[in-house]
Structure formats: structure tokens, C-alpha cells
Structure 1
């Protein structure tokens, strides 16, 4: 093949994307893929546009403006989408477990590779950057001097890695007694929070940081097995979850917001609380109720093509999004632009900047590092969503 006829990387990527779109099996549940792509967009957009960056104890922190916006906390019941990721994970992992014929080795090798390859590249690149900077720049304080901005995505990876490792056990338990297992996990989550807050056993927070995400992942199994197909079963989790959230909001021990806010004294995310379990049940119901609408929308070729493109690099986007934000922070400082520490009118006016610049940076990072995730992009999409 001559240089004139050899496809460019962009053209080759487009051809691979078109091939994957064309080879989509009719039996695949496209709404799961759509939700994954939408959640990635929500997480990235929230981190970039809805973070109030300020200095605290010599480091940068990313505060949420929710506390400064009247009655904004109910929006977090929809926009805190981490539970949806674990619901999707439960759905997809059960599909993959069945495809692996319930063999732990093949299942874990494939799932862990998809998680750990992009993460290994991310950590290796930053290790090299830190080593070179420490040698070349006298007194270089290290990237963590900016705070934990860079490593924010890694907590999710650790939690998700845990539930993937447990799939051989949790999937077997689901097959034996799906409903009772979910009910038992939910009861234990509530009991642990009662011990933590009622008896003052703060160390129990670590227990629910593990158990809550297993519970949410287990709900994804119910979704995968079609247990939410009938209309009343679609409504039930939405109503039950909403009732749970109302109780959570009414109790003084919990904040009403599902994202961390300054002055709240407690975050639902870490240590994870029963509030996230209630949120997951509610969001599962919302997803079930919206499924017919989402299913019709995702059947449009342009929408499905965009979803396939996003999901092909989803882990790369997730890992590198905060690097793009950190680069933007450095650029903004170098340009002498103000970084507003409060959600004032001037802060809101800068939101387009904090979406556009990180997006450009992230596009370049994805182009550089997506191969770690898309190395097997030539493999066609399979049935199910595993």
C-alpha cells in the first residue's frame, strides 16, 4: 500500500467505528450502552463545569456549588450517576459471566484487562512525568501539590474492581436466590449505617463503602434478568427509592445532597452510606421507566454511532478527564485569568471556558492513549452487553 492510499489514523478509526456500528447484533440492549455514554458525559461535564476551584490548606479543592444554589440538592438525585455505572456494570458483568460459561479465569482475565490496561498506562505516564519533572525542575513539589484533582477517578476504579472480582460469588448467589440476596444486602447496609450513626461506630463506614456498591451491582443483575419488564415492576423501585431518599433527606444525620458539599460534615459517597443504596434503587426505577423512550432514541443511527464512539474510549476518557482539567487550570493561571473561588456571576460566565478548553485537551489525550483500551476495537460488538 502506497503512502497515498494508506488510510490516516482518523480515517482508519472511522472505518473501525462504522464496522462496529454495522455489526451491532439485533439482540443487544442498546439502552445500556446509551446510559453508559450519557453517564460519562454527566460525570465529565460536572467535574469541569460545576467545580468551584479554590485553595484550601495550600492545595486546590473542587467544591460543589450545590450548597449555594437554592433547592439545587434534588438535582443530585438524578445527576449523581455513580450508582448507574454500577447498575450497568451488574448488567454487563452478568452477561459476560454467562458468556464465559461461569468460568472465573476467562471472565476475570477479560474484564480486568479492560479495566487495568488503561489504568496502567495512566499511572505509568504520570510516573514518568513526575520523575522527569523532579529531575529537570529544581524544587518541583509534585503534581499532588495541586491537591487530589488528578487521582479523583481512581476511587471509582478501585470500587468497581472490587465488585468485578466478586462476580463469581455474587452471580452464583443471584442465580440461587436473586430477590432474597438483594433484600439481605439492603438490610445489612441499613443495619451498618444504624451502627455507625446510632451507636457512634464510625469505623463501620468502611464496611458500607464495600457493601453498598455490591448491593448496587446486584441490582444490575435483576435488571439483566428482565425482572423490571412489567409496568408495576418498573414503578416499584422508583417509588421505593424515592421514599428512601425522602427519609434520608429528613434525617439530620444525612445531607440531602448526594454529592459532597462544603459545610455538610458528611458525604454520602465516602464513606459510602445507605443513602447511595436508596439512590440506586430510585435510579434503577427511573431507568426502567425511561427505557421505552431511550430505546426508541438509540435506534437512530447517528445516536448509536456516537454512543459506540464514546463507549469505545470510555475508560480512557474517565481516567484522563481530570488531567485535562489540571492542564486547563495551569493554562488559566499562566494566562492571568481569574479563578473565581465562589459561584458568582463571574464564575458562571467562565463555565463555557471550563468546558471548551478541557475538551480540547482531553481530545488530544484520548488520541494519544486510547489504544490501551481500543487495542481489540476490531472485535465486533457481541450480543448482550458484556
Structure 2
């Protein structure tokens, strides 16, 4: 069977009581994507414990107190985001294959949608620390904000790997099905054994690929209609996660906590197990989720939010820095003790201020979720892989260094710009329409490298 057929053929065997995901809009995946990103933002806005004294800002984590770690078993939704991305990429790539679009053209279009929203972020944050320091703002808060503004890009760097691997991983999925994520999970177990027996966190770095690709691969199975028995997945995933933290070396929290081993950086098998539990729970509720998403008001809200999710993700920490600079640094108001009446009563007002700060950022930068129109990509496989490598290297550099003044952030932004330049092609030949085979044009509802599947290509 030719490779293209492997991408376009639906598997004959399906788990009972499931069906393949729609070839176009899937409201279930839309909801997971929006829910995941909104919950990430709410968590980032809600957990910081902040105070300012002697020119330095101190930070803490509200979820590090008491039994608040339990919240992270739901609020750590990055597994759901990668799962939704896997389903979207499977649908998009197969639709492109049916139209005759080659993998390089599909990947170039996907890469542009993924990296283009980062351009305005870099354009603002590269000069901003220099300007603030020149205006006399204390150095430590400026450097802290500059560093954190870039750390968010870890997600795009890893997701780019998943996007680049979509075509070969789809072929493996069509032949081996469940054995692919099972093999990735087995590799993650081996990595964790090495990490915890050696005591070296660096030994766990391969799990950055193994864990997230395993969850992404489950999205392929969902797109095929091969994810049945959702309650088995939910109970099995959460049950295994509970056993691992109870009897293994894994911490209770699914997000990193100060002074503790992290289940997130790098990801562990415990996080993978909880992620499988989350996916199973979401699938068990799928019928109600889809019904809710089809309400007219909810559908419009999902459409509006779906077109702005990357902007919300990339800029929500900038909104936080604006409010912190006014309330914590300017007015000297520290975060109350978490869980106290002062904290609980102040939390809605805090979120309102952050939402008001976020609104102009959404209005100003959401337009960059759609990259400039480009002609059909004709550069070939090597060129687009070089482009992906450059963008990935740039995102990784900014993840590590942030936008702290120096050469590294400039080099990282330059690598992203060079990668984007390699994805561009000549103008469309006269007579070629945006619907022609091989024409990787932007279409409504498909944003940011496949994180949304409305009108999936």
C-alpha cells in the first residue's frame, strides 16, 4: 500500500461504541483545546504568591500549601492539549493527503501558523527590558518577567516536534495502532527508572519527547475511532497515577513545586498516567460536551475563543506582569495567604484586573494568528525540515533564556525568523486558486499549527 493510502485509509478495526472523528469540525476537540488553554491561563494567574521589598520581587506557589496538589490532577491539562493537537493533526494531514498535498507543503503551512504568532511577542519583549531598565525600574523584577515571558514557549517547541513527526507517526499508527503509544510509554518507564536510580534529573530529558508524543499518538487513535472504553481509561489512568505517587518516587503534584522533584519538567510516567485518566474522563463525557458545544451561544463563544487561543497563551503572562507592576511593585500590596478569606475574596477582583489587561493584547495581537498569505510551497523536504529545526532551536533558546538582555534571545528570535523565511514560496502562479492541490493556504478555523480542528485541512 502506498504511503498516501496509509494516511487516507480508515482502519477496518474499531473499538466498539466509537466512531472516527469528523473529517472537518469536531466540537469535542474544539472544547478540549479552549478548555485546556483557558485552564492553563487561570492557573498561571491564580497560583503566584507575590511580594515586593528592597527592589526584589519574591514568588511562591499557592498550590504548594495543604492538599491543594489535588487540584493539579485536573488543572494540569497539557496532556489534553497534546491529545487534541494529535487529533487535529491527524485530521488535517489526511485531508491534505486526499487533496494530493505533499507532506513538505503541509508541514510548511503548519509551521508558519505555529511560529508566526511568536513574532510580535519577540518584537515587543526583545527591546522592552532595555527600556524598563533605562527608565529606572528595579533590575530583579524586570529580569524575572523577561525570563518568564520566554519560558511559555516550551510548549510550542515540543508541539513543533509532534507536528513534524505527524506523517511518519500516522503511518506507524495505521500499521501498529495501540502498540505505538504503548512502546512510547514503555520507553518513558525506562527513562524514569534511569532518572530516579541515578538521581540525575537530566536523565529524564528523553521523556520530553516520549511522554508528549505518546499523548499526541492517542489523538490519532481518537481520530480513527479506536479509543473505546473511556471509563477504563479514566479509572486505569488515575488509578495508576495514584499508585505511582503512593508507592513510587513521584511527587503528589502534577506541576512543579519549589524545592521538589517535578512531574512536569521533564514529564514523568505519573503525569502520563494522569493524562490518560484525563483523556478517558473527557471521552466518557464526550456526548454531553458535544451537546453543550452545539448550543448557539456556546458555539459562537468557542469560535471567537478558538481564533485567539494562541494569543491568549503567549500574552497572558505579559498581562500578569502589567498588573503585578502596578499592584505588587507600585502599590506594595502582597498576595494574601492562600485559602484565607482575604485571598478568596480578592481572587475574583485579581482575575478581573488581569482580564482587563489582557483585552487590549487580544485585540492588538490576535491578527497574527493568521500568517501572511503565501504561494504554494515548493522548497522540498530538506528545506522545510531545516526551517523546522531553526524554528525549534529558536523556541528552545527563548524557553531557556527568556528575553533577558543578551545575545542569546536575539539569536533565538533570528533563528525563528530564518525558519519562517524558509517556509515562504513565490507568489501564486497566474490562474492558481487557493483551492488548488498543493496550495497551503490559511482557512477559517485552522490556527496555530493545528491546535484547532474546525474546517480542518
1:373 and 2:369 are equivalent in the alignment: yes
Q: Which runs of 5+ in 1 are unaligned?
A: 1-24
SS at match of 1:100: helix
Distance 1:175 1:278 in 2: 24
Match of 1:157 in 2: 156
| Partner in structure 1 of residue 261 of structure 2 | 266
Matched, 1:315 2:315: no
Q: Could you tell me how far 1:245 is from its partner in structure 2?
A: 0.8
After superposing the two structures, state which structure 1 stretch, 101-110 or 58-67, moved more.
Answer: 58-67
Change (3 A) 1:44 1:195: same
CA distance 1:124–1:314, shift in 2 (3 Å): same
Output the TM-score relative to the length of structure 2.
Answer: 0.72
User: Which one of the candidate residues 294, 302, 316 is aligned to 1:299?
Assistant: 294
- Once the two structures are TM-superposed, the CA of residue 334 in structure 1 deviates from its matched residue by 5.6
Moved more, 141-150 or 318-327: 141-150
Three-state SS of the structure 2 residue aligned to 1:63 is strand
For residues 54 and 329 of structure 2, the distance between their equivalents in structure 1, rounded to whole angstroms, comes to 22
Name the structure 2 match of 1:76: 72
Task: Answer yes or no: is 1:51 the counterpart of 2:115.
Answer: no
What is aligned with 2:27? 30
What's 1:348 paired with? 344
Question: Counterparts of 1:281 and 1:118 in 2: how far apart (Å)?
Answer: 30
Q: Distance in 2 between matches of 1:267 and 1:99?
A: 39
* Alpha-carbon separation, structure 2, partners of 1:134 and 1:57: 16
C-alpha contact (below 8 Å) 2:188/2:210 kept by paired residues: yes
Post-superposition shift, 1:91? 0.4
Match status 1:193 vs 2:189: no
The one of 327, 331, 356 equivalent to 2:326 is 331
Q: Which runs of 5+ in 2 are unaligned?
A: 1-21, 373-440, 446-452
Partners of 2:315 and 2:361 within 8 A in 1: yes
User: Alpha carbon RMSD of aligned pairs, Å?
Assistant: 2.7
In the alignment, does 2:233 pair up with 1:237?
yes
Offset, 1:123 = 0.9
Q: Distance in 2 between matches of 1:55 and 1:224?
A: 49
Written as runs of structure 1 = structure 2, the 5 A alignment for 1:205-224 is: 205-224=204-223
Matched residue pairs, number? Answer: 357
Shift in CA distance, 341/60, structure 1 to aligned 2, threshold 3 Å: farther
With the length of structure 1 as denominator, give the TM-score of the two structures.
Answer: 0.84
Structure-2 separation of matches of 1:243 and 1:320:
36
Q: 2:293 & 2:234 partners in 1: Cα distance?
A: 23
